[in-house]
Amino acid sequence: EVQLQASGGGLVQAGGSLRLSCTTSGIYFDDYAIAWFRQAPGKEREGLSCISSSDGATHYADSVKGRFTISNDNAENTVHLQMNSLKPEDTADYYCAVDVYFPSDPFHTSYGGYTYWGQGTQVTVSS
């Protein structure tokens, strides 16, 4: 059974930092990607970043490029999302997900979305 556990959310002031973690187990397929998404109230879910299991390739949405960094701790089966220079508009529920890696469509916008999801962790950025 594929399982993902997200953690690390919280309340932070604008300009501050948080590190989210996604611990995985039971992934049975090769060449997968672990991705972070977020969803704010009243807004559509947004793909933020993902990392490939095979070669460590990373992808970022324009909204977080230069501020967020994704990394993979293979020994701990954990993917981290380091979030710096946080803004109030980063306030949302953050989710990690895993599925087959498609470098041409890393957030699966044309493939019906990711299959396996963890529970959300809430991030609130105060102004």
pLDDT bucket at 109, cuts 50 / 70 / 90: confident
DSSP code string of 67-78: TEEEEEEGGGTE
Residue 111 has a pLDDT of 76
**Residue type, position 105, single letter:** D
**pLDDT above 90: residue 85:** yes
Gyration radius of the chain over CA positions: 14
Residue 96 Cα distances to 13, 25, 38, 126, angstroms:
23, 13, 9, 23
pLDDT above 70 coverage of the chain, percent: 100
Least Cα distance to 47 among 105, 122, 116 occurs for: 105
Q: Average model confidence (pLDDT) for the chain?
A: 95
Residue 75 has a pLDDT of 85
